[in-house]
């Protein structure tokens, strides 16, 4: 029998217990696929409380950094969470000892991923994070292996199940954002403090990781444009639908002109596109390559089973001795392109609440025209008291030009409300 790969698991929450369940349930199959047994030897958590399964066969370490340096651990699974603190200390201790690391921690990887990958390279260890991006969907593997023949042209994704649940439920039931958020919390889809999800940062961290792997560039997570779904109204969801679109919290990354453009924001996408048809908590990632064209990956983005599945797949690769650099290329080969928020040209959906008096539409058209923005479609919806809601779809323009025109429209008091503007992403 070949030498077992010995696993230490730091964190016994949702994901940690999911990993243990899979390693036990499929021990024989995993050993065959990996070419060697995969055995858990040690575990760590804050407390030794009963977790509903027998963990007595494994050594327990109160400090996960001690687990990371045990002689009987070859690979550390970090499923504690958090971008610093014990998670980072554990991963650094493991890599510095030449032990492999598999993590589900997007916050840690988005902030410190390239430094940790460099540490792994210096010590001849593997660092993998498939579970940190879109849960059970093998999208890091797709980028770094399956699509490695291509120059990636664009990566897009709906990577936060909570947000997609809220937006699709609002559309289906006509309920407001706050009511659906409360329901999502009751169902366990949203955290008690949902800011990280609905504010877009959870999905932005995943997008940052995909961007590094897709374009071979460093990404400054603080420079990523992040906008959440808190301001998305039922009114805009319905108007977008009438125009043939749906609103999604969409992450988009592309590279060009010596910069990498990374944005996480609510966008309109064609209702009939794969992303437009995505319902509920499901995630989707679209990768476009110069030779392959468009590829679409869909699946569960969270939960013990899907996330554990991705962790164990990384473990099996390491057990097979498959050595892929963390981000597809060695850290020294990652380019230093700046991370930019300047969006490429796009068409925009605008909703303006104009004063209901003659000549207002002409003034709006003139303000847009002065900044080089032409109108593709304009619709005036039913009047509400003294206001006239107007929907505009522009031809392709730059966001900075649009913002100048909207400032002018607001400055001249043509609008009764703050104008609403969403990018329409071609999918």
Binding site for ligand NAP (CB under 6 A): 11-16, 44-47, 64, 79-81, 86, 104-106, 131-132, 135, 302-303, 307
Q: Is 191 annotated as a binding residue?
A: yes
CB of 302 or CB of 346, closer to ligand NAP: 302
Least Cβ distance, residue 256 to ligand NAP (angstroms): 30
Considering the complex, what minimum distance in angstroms separates the CB of residue 46 from ligand NAP?
3
Active site residue 206: yes
Q: How many C-beta atoms lie closer than 10 Å to residue 405's C-beta?
A: 23
> Is the Cβ of residue 161 or residue 325 nearer to ligand NAP in the bound state?
161
- Whichever of 80 and 127 has its CB closer to ligand NAP, that residue is 80
Q: What residues pair up with 260 in beta bridges, in sequence order?
A: 255, 339
Closest contact distance (angstroms) between CB of 178 and ligand NAP is 24
Question: CA nearest 347: which of 325, 367, 374?
Answer: 374
Output 2 or 84, the one with its CB closest to ligand NAP. Answer: 84
Report, in Å, the least distance between residue 11 CB and ligand NAP: 3
Q: How far is the CB of 357 from ligand NAP (least distance, A)?
A: 52
CB of 344 to ligand NAP, least distance (A): 30
Q: What is the largest CA-CA distance in the chain?
A: 85
Q: Of the two residues 14 and 344, which places its CB atom closer to ligand NAP in the complex?
A: 14
204: phi then psi, degrees, rounded to nearest 5: -65, -35
Contact 265, 200 (CB under 8 A): yes
Query: Which residue, 81 or 251, is less far from ligand NAP as judged by CB?
Result: 81
Beta-carbon contacts of 189 under 8 Å, excluding residues fewer than 6 positions away, are 161, 162, 165, 281
Comparing every residue's Cβ against ligand NAP, the nearest one is 13
What is the distance between the alpha carbons of residues 210 and 110, in angstroms, rounded to a whole number? 10
Per the annotation, does 89 bind a ligand? no
Q: How far is the CB of 79 from ligand NAP (least distance, A)?
A: 4
Task: Give the sign of the dihedral formed by CA 252, CA 255, CA 256, CA 261.
Answer: positive
Residue (140 or 364) nearer to ligand NAP, CB: 140
Q: Which of 88, 206, 225, 248 is catalytic?
A: 206
Binding residues: 106, 191
Task: Report the catalytic residues.
Answer: 206
Binding residues for NADPH: 106
């Amino acid at each position: 029998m070949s030498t077992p790969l010995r696993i230490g698991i730091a964190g016994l929450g949702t994901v940690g217990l999911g990993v243990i369940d899979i390693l036990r349930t499929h021990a024989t199959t995993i050993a065959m696929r990996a070419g060697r047994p995969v055995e858990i030897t040690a575990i760590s958590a804050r407390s030794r409380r009963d977790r509903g399964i027998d963990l007595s066969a494994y050594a327990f370490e109160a400090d996960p950094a001690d687990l990371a340096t045990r002689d009987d651990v070859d690979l550390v699974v970090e499923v504690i969470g958090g971008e610093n603190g014990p998670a980072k200390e554990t991963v650094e201790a493991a890599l510095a000892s030449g032990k492999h690391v598999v993590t589900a921690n997007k916050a840690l990887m988005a902030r410190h991923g390239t430094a940790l990958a460099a540490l792994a390279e210096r010590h001849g260890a593997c660092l993998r994070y498939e579970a940190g991006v879109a849960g059970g969907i093998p999208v890091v593997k797709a980028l770094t292996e399956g699509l490695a023949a291509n120059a990636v042209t664009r990566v897009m994704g709906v990577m936060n199940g909570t947000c997609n649940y809220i937006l699709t439920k609002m559309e289906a039931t006509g309920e407001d954002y706050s009511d659906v958020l409360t329901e999502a919390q009751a169902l366990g889809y949203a955290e008690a403090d949902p800011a990280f999800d609905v504010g877009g940062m959870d999905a932005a961290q995943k997008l940052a990781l995909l961007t590094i792997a897709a374009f071979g560039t460093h990404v400054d997570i603080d420079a990523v444009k992040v906008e959440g779904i808190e301001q998305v109204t039922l009114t805009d969801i319905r108007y977008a639908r009438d125009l043939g679109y749906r609103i999604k919290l969409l992450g988009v990354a592309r590279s060009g002109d010596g910069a990498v453009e990374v944005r996480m924001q609510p966008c309109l996408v064609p209702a009939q596109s794969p992303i437009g048809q995505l319902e509920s908590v499901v995630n989707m990632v679209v990768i476009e390559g110069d030779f392959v064209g468009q590829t679409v990956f869909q699946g569960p983005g969270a939960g013990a089973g899907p996330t554990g599945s991705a962790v164990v797949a990384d473990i099996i690769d390491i057990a097979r001795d498959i050595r892929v650099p963390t981000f597809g290329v060695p850290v020294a080969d990652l380019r230093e392109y700046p991370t930019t928020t300047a969006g490429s040209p796009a068409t925009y959906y605008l909703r303006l609440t104009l004063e209901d008096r003659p000549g207002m539409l002409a003034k709006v058209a003139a303000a847009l025209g002065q900044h080089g923005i032409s109108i593709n479609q304009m619709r005036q919806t039913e009047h509400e008291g003294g206001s006239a809601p107007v929907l505009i779809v522009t031809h392709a323009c730059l966001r900075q030009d649009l913002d100048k025109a909207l400032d002018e429209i607001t400055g001249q008091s043509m609008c009764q409300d703050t104008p609403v503007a969403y990018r329409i992403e071609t999918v």
